[in-house]
Amino acid sequence: MPRFTEFETYDVRFPTSLDLDGSDAMNADPDYSAAYLILRTDTGDGLEGHGFAFTIGRGNDVQTAAIEALRDHIVGLDVDAVLGDLGGFWKSLVHDSQLRWLGPEKGVMHMAIGAVVNAVWDLAAKRAGVPLWKLLSDLSPEQIVDLVDFRYLTDALTREEALEILYAAVPGRAEREKALRERGYPAYTTSPGWLGYDDAKLVRLCHEAVADGFTQIKLKVGADLDDDIRRLRLAREAVGPDIRIAIDANQRWDVADAIDWIKALTPYDVWWVEEPTSPDDILGHAAIARAIAPVRVATGEHVQNRVVFKQLLQAESLSFVQIDSARVAGVNENIAILLLAAKFGVPVCPHAGGVGLCELVQHLSMFDLVAVSGSTESRVIEYVDHLHEHFLDPVVIKDGHYVAPTRPGFSAELDAETLCDFRYPNGKIWTDLEKESAK
Amino acid sequence: MPRFTEFETYDVRFPTSLDLDGSDAMNADPDYSAAYLILRTDTGDGLEGHGFAFTIGRGNDVQTAAIEALRDHIVGLDVDAVLGDLGGFWKSLVHDSQLRWLGPEKGVMHMAIGAVVNAVWDLAAKRAGVPLWKLLSDLSPEQIVDLVDFRYLTDALTREEALEILYAAVPGRAEREKALRERGYPAYTTSPGWLGYDDAKLVRLCHEAVADGFTQIKLKVGADLDDDIRRLRLAREAVGPDIRIAIDANQRWDVADAIDWIKALTPYDVWWVEEPTSPDDILGHAAIARAIAPVRVATGEHVQNRVVFKQLLQAESLSFVQIDSARVAGVNENIAILLLAAKFGVPVCPHAGGVGLCELVQHLSMFDLVAVSGSTESRVIEYVDHLHEHFLDPVVIKDGHYVAPTRPGFSAELDAETLCDFRYPNGKIWTDLEKESAK
């Protein structure tokens, strides 16, 4: 009987703070990092499962330790049994009564579960010989709902309602898959808008974004209102009236501040405002959403789990659901969130960027298109042009669209050299930086 | 200039699962544990700061690693500067932009901050030569609000409103302190009601609780409805009609299940139902609270931070706020929560038990009585009679009341021998258990 035999973790960090890539009102100097996992089996096919949690530097060691704490939850298990019941496997991790105390279902421990679950899905797709989006899209509605834990969701979404949504999407699957393979999935770009970039760089990158075929860009805001107004005006002049401009405050405001600040920016035709306040503040988001209409609220990259997404939808706190591939407990929980969004008729526009978040989350949106919501209406996946070169199957953007991956797996695999060079603190990149700073 | 010099962490675990102490519907076999911290300085007074996060076994190593990740946030700092601005120190931990990504403000990383913050408060009280409750109770209203981070709270509680609450309590401080020293603070006991205990043990412990002067007990429920009805009936017969019986479902139910189950138990005169569903489900708690009235909802031991408590109060999701001394980011954040509860006029009835949670949280309720809410009306602190013998300043219960501590500090200090013997996995208790199980 083939078993999971190896569980290898890596603390990988990229010194992105040197260039202020990724800088925003709350995250001044992130070092984009991955707490990274490789799973191996003794099946003899040489296939591995890769998964990771994304962090922004300090604490990536804690995140790696949390993944390590799950070693005994998979090493030694029968590979076919795990892959044959990925809903049950998910529960065996999330419902571990002792580990549950550390959340429950939130923060470091929950993200660690996400890394393990995603690594297993990477392996599952490689064994099936298809990209993850295709593996998921070919499951039956029953197989899909079996992946979902409906605990704490049934007041908003039952298994039966989820089946109805999925069955309604079955007839159009083939046609939408064909269209997806031809046109890809719409993207928007955040690359112009980092707070640490000067005006000239902002304007240059805005022009490039339009030339590259993007129809939506995003600007970071929230540090200084006058700066925001100037940057938004420059961006609007650069992209013209037909390109959507979203803004992102990265949780900078209290409720009243958010409302005032957003109203001051409304004249510049804002498509959505993202993370206006604490990701935990369901009622606060709802109050903001009511006050700033017709500007709409988007949130989700820091939303801890499906229970909070459920409430954001119930309270009409948001108009766009921003799933993240590595914040909640992996593919299974994101399927639950896609189903919740479909139930409430709210479009999913994933958060991406970071390390490998674009690579991962495209699969979830493509599955959503083929088998769940059946639509790309008002839906875009975030795109940030950092660090893709480190992945074996990097995202491909063409005319402002994500091209559907064809390589088997979850596109999660970092280059072996990168894993070695960027390992913290002893990889070459970091020891070189230390030598330099010692000069 | 005196500095923080040493930062020592311990993974301490007690094999409580052997006796099913602490067993409930979600936590079948907890091994009560502490991720423990000792802070030392070079002031030469020999005083140490002790603090910890409480977990229930697996993952205590991850929790300890998270505390370790904060070493550089305090070692080397000027002791007087830190103790002179504990509000600023709190923010330096919680607002660390890189570590914040791991929550934000929730789970393993947030509890780690709680351990560090509480250790510093333990030291502050020892240096002042008073128990923590007294140190806090003698602060001016301005000094108290300076400890609080109002970020994300101002739609429910502003600094000015907090000052008003605190000023209103100033005139009665001395009188209430005198009464507290004489009578103590009301307690209730959970010791009879663990789910793993048989009926005879339940009844015997119910009788003991009444004989010991408790006026409220609590029973774990949620595994099997017939069992719950039988146990509740037995308990009611044992304690008579005048003793309050609370029940605790430990997050077992979805919203509709909770309502049905609680309604079936209502004939047995239930004082409150605790944690009926996910601690993240603010709207779910509110729906349950509306449906089960006049039975009231209590929750909080797993509520991640002040932002969620704010919303539970705004949405009228609960009638009792159950703060926990080691779940949120320490004393400062609990002061924010006490102020929120006072603003909304909801009594605080702390969660305790575990390892040292009774020892810690009594200080917060006593401070609440003297300087914040000014009342013990409908307020009780949970009491569980486990593991106190391991503490240097264990709680003292007399006639169903917590006796006000007099020893300087936060009562947080574990016996040195315990720290050695129960250290996991190499302490004597654990190596002995391993030898035994190998036989």
- Determine contact: B106 vs chain A, CB below 8 A: yes
CB atoms within 10 A of CB B383: 26
Cβ atoms of residues B159 and B145 within 8 Å: yes
The conformational region for residue B421 under phi > 0 = left, psi -120 to 50 = alpha, else beta, is alpha
- Residue B99 located in a structural domain: no
Q: Which of A109, A154, A284 has the CB atom closest to B155's CB atom?
A: A284
Residue B21: its pLDDT value, please? Answer: 65
Distance between CA atoms of residues A376 and A182, nearest Å: 14
Cβ atoms of residues A51 and A409 within 8 Å: no
pLDDT per position as a tens digit, B328-349: 999 999 999 999 999 999 999 9
The reply to whether residue A280 touches residue B28, judged by beta carbons under 8 angstroms, is no
Question: What residues contact residue B43 under an 8 Å CB cut-off, 6+ apart?
Answer: B2, B79
% of chain A exceeding 70 in pLDDT: 99
Residue A431: its pLDDT value, please? Answer: 95
The reply to whether residue A98 touches residue B308, judged by beta carbons under 8 angstroms, is no
Residue B180: its pLDDT value, please? Answer: 98
The reply to whether residue B280 touches residue A305, judged by beta carbons under 8 angstroms, is yes
Domain that holds residue B239: 166-417
The reply to whether residue A282 touches residue B282, judged by beta carbons under 8 angstroms, is yes
Question: What residues contact residue B349 under an 8 Å CB cut-off, 6+ apart?
Answer: B188, B298, B320, B321, B322, B378, B379, B380, B381, B382
Residue A22: its pLDDT value, please? Answer: 66
- The answer, yes or no, to whether residue A439 has pLDDT greater than 90, is no
Please work out, in degrees rounded to the nearest 5, the angle formed at the alpha carbon of residue A57 by the alpha carbons of A30 and A205.
25
Residue A20: its pLDDT value, please? Answer: 66
Q: What is the mean pLDDT of chain B?
A: 96
pLDDT per position as a tens digit, B287-326: 999 999 999 999 999 999 999 999 999 999 999 999 999 9
Cβ atoms of residues A311 and B255 within 8 Å: no
Please compute the mean of the pLDDT values over residues B361-368 and round it to a whole number.
Answer: 98
Bridge partners, residue B35, by sequence: B11, B53
> Which residues of chain A does B286 touch, with a Cβ-Cβ cutoff of 8 Å?
none
pLDDT per position as a tens digit, B248-266: 999 999 999 999 999 999 9
pLDDT per position as a tens digit, A205-237: 999 999 999 999 999 999 999 999 999 999 999
Please compute the mean of the pLDDT values over residues B234-243 and round it to a whole number.
Answer: 96
pLDDT per position as a tens digit, A66-91: 999 999 999 999 999 999 999 999 99
> Exposure of B404 by Cβ count < 10 A (0-12 exposed, 13-18 middle, 19+ buried)?
buried
- The answer, yes or no, to whether residue B436 has pLDDT greater than 90, is no
- The answer, yes or no, to whether residue B20 has pLDDT greater than 70, is no
Distance between CA atoms of residues B384 and A342, nearest Å: 46
Bridge partners, residue A218, by sequence: A246
Residue A285: its pLDDT value, please? Answer: 98
- Residue A361 located in a structural domain: yes
- Determine contact: A103 vs chain B, CB below 8 A: yes
Residue B26: its pLDDT value, please? Answer: 72
pLDDT per position as a tens digit, B61-115: 999 999 999 999 999 999 999 999 999 999 999 999 999 999 999 999 999 999 9
The answer to ipTM > 0.85 is: yes
- Residue A302 located in a structural domain: yes
Model-level pTM? 0.97
Write the CA distances from B429 to A354, B55, B353, B425, integer angstroms. Answer: 44, 18, 21, 9
Cβ atoms of residues B251 and A101 within 8 Å: no
What is the distance in angstroms between the Cα of B95 and the nearest Cα belonging to chain A? Answer: 9
- Residue A273 located in a structural domain: yes
Cβ atoms of residues A136 and A122 within 8 Å: no
Half-sphere exposure of B209 (CA within 13 A, CB side): 32
Q: What is the CATH number of the domain that holds B359?
A: 3.20.20.120
Q: What is the total count of domains within chain B?
A: 1
Please compute the mean of the pLDDT values over residues B366-383 and round it to a whole number.
Answer: 98
- The answer, yes or no, to whether residue A307 has pLDDT greater than 70, is yes
pLDDT per position as a tens digit, B176-190: 999 999 999 999 999
- Residue B325 located in a structural domain: yes
Closest CA to A235 of A268, A264, A263, A276: A268
3 state DSSP class of A58: coil
Please compute the mean of the pLDDT values over residues B198-223 and round it to a whole number.
Answer: 95
Please compute the mean of the pLDDT values over residues A21-49 and round it to a whole number.
Answer: 89
pLDDT per position as a tens digit, B376-386: 999 999 999 98
The reply to whether residue A65 touches residue B63, judged by beta carbons under 8 angstroms, is no
Chain B nearest-CA residue for A24: B97
% of chain A exceeding 90 in pLDDT: 92
Token pair of B200 as six digits: 């005879």
- Residue B434 located in a structural domain: no
Cβ atoms of residues B284 and B311 within 8 Å: no
Please compute the mean of the pLDDT values over residues A283-287 and round it to a whole number.
Answer: 98
> Which residues of chain A does B102 touch, with a Cβ-Cβ cutoff of 8 Å?
55, 59, 62-63, 107-108, 111
- Residue B191 located in a structural domain: yes
Overall size of chain A counted in residues: 439
pLDDT per position as a tens digit, A238-272: 999 999 999 999 999 999 999 999 999 999 999 99
- The answer, yes or no, to whether residue B22 has pLDDT greater than 70, is no
- Residue A149 located in a structural domain: no
- The answer, yes or no, to whether residue B24 has pLDDT greater than 80, is no
- The answer, yes or no, to whether residue A25 has pLDDT greater than 80, is no
Residue A21: its pLDDT value, please? Answer: 65
Residue A246: its pLDDT value, please? Answer: 97
